[in-house]
Structure 1
Amino acid sequence: MSGDAAADLLSLERLVVVEKFGSADYDVLQPEVILSFHGLCLARADDEWFMGELDADGSLICWASYGSDLAEAIRGL
């Protein structure tokens, strides 16, 4: 759906967090799947897709939920 031929399924063996709005803190996510494409990642946790990018240490830092529909989350790129 992303149109990225290099899209990939990533290992869940990494820290995945989402930023808390208006705070320097993060919430830890327990994703069921992590997709990587176009230099960004989508992680599915709690029936929502969270957008983010990989940090240098391999952890995934997400900035927001893009909803429960994968196609809509991809269009949000």
Structure 2
Amino acid sequence: MKAAMALATQITSAAPRSVQMTKAAIHRSYELAQMRTALLEALETDILIEADESPERLEFNRIRKEQGLKAALAWRDARA
């Protein structure tokens, strides 16, 4: 508790604008850390999607290789 009070006293003696800017920087750091986590989660999901070998995905890729992307997209859209 004594150390916390000493730190609080030190912070309150600093220029208010400097304290506000430092606080904002700390908040941005936490937001960026959360963004990094979100991007890593999205990447993991994308890897799983790309690795999926469902019958639909295999057929789409077969059509794409044999007839081209337009044909594969038309096949996909006709299924909807």
Q: Name the TM-score class by shorter chain.
A: under 0.3
Structure showing greater radius of gyration is 2
**TM-score under structure 2 normalisation?**
0.21
**TM-score under structure 1 normalisation?**
0.21
Structure with greater strand percent: 1
